[in-house]
Amino acid sequence: MNIFFGKNTDKFILDGIKTSGGRNKAISEVYRRYYDLMRSVVLRNSGSVEDAEDVIQEAVLVFVRMVQKDEFRGESAIGTFLSSVVRNIWLGKMRKSQAEQIRISKVEMEESEYVDHFSRAESYKTMQEVFEQLGETCRRLLTMFYYEEMNYEDLMPHFEFETEQALRNKKSKCMKGLSDIIERKPTLAKTLREALKI
């Protein structure tokens, strides 16, 4: 019952996002609780339902990454923060497409905050495009190993490799392939170095 009515929902979401076991439930809760609010920000500013769906996904991604990296300090409530991320990404998209007829004046934000959220969303989009350039086996293997945190033994039944060593070699090749693609995109590499502080 607390999830619906309680005051602990923010904590439930923030704690859940940081664990691989609780992440899915926490993100689902973000949608259940804040989807209408986020959608209304886009719809009230000349966006369509489809625009809203895309922007909401990008905003949730920015929010979740910030929580995972301890960059969300909880100075504002999650709903307030998500509204501002949605607004900034939507404003960025409007500016990018130079849709001057749209009443973007309604979405004025502080420049630094706007740039930060929008540029994060844009970088994430590029990262996804880069990842898509890998073959399907590599995408599955890397996702299951790093994101779902499955070990080699558990991965074996999901792939057609005769030995665990062959699977390990494949994973290394996939990572090397991904690194090569990133190196061919200097802007992305620079953004990643800055984000990772390396």
Partner 1 sequence: MSSEFDEYFLKKMSPDEEQRFLEGLKSDARKREEFEKAAMAHEVVAVAALKQEIGEISKKYIGKSVSSKSWTSALRIAAIFLVTILGFLGIKESLINGSEWTSDQGLRYRVPNERGDLTPTEQVAQYYKMGDYDKIIHEFGKSSHEGEETAFLVAMSYFNLKKYPEAVENIDKFLQKWPMAQQKSEAEFYLIHSLVGAGKYLKAYDLIEKMNAENQYKAYFDWKYKLRLRLLILTQ
What does the binding site for partner 1 look like in residue numbers (CB under 8 A)? 1-2, 5-7, 23-24, 27-28, 31-32, 35-37, 40, 53, 56-57, 60-61, 64-65, 76-77, 79-81, 83-84, 103, 105-108, 124, 127-128, 130-132, 139, 142-143, 145-149, 171-172, 175-176, 178-179, 182-183, 189, 192-193, 195-196, 198
Q: Which is nearer to partner 1, 128 or 137 (CB)?
A: 128
Q: Which is nearer to partner 1, 1 or 157 (CB)?
A: 1
Q: How far is the CB of 53 from partner 1 (least distance, A)?
A: 7
Token representation of residue 134? 């890998």
Residue length of the chain: 198
Q: Which is nearer to partner 1, 4 or 97 (CB)?
A: 4
Residue type, 147: Y
CA–CA gap between residue 126 and residue 190 (Å, rounded):
13
**Phi-psi sector, 177: left (phi>0), alpha (psi -120 to 50), beta:** alpha
Please return the burial class of 93, using the count of CB atoms within 10 Å of its CB with bins 0-12, 13-18 and 19+: buried
Q: How far is the CB of 82 from partner 1 (least distance, A)?
A: 8
CA–CA gap between residue 54 and residue 90 (Å, rounded):
10
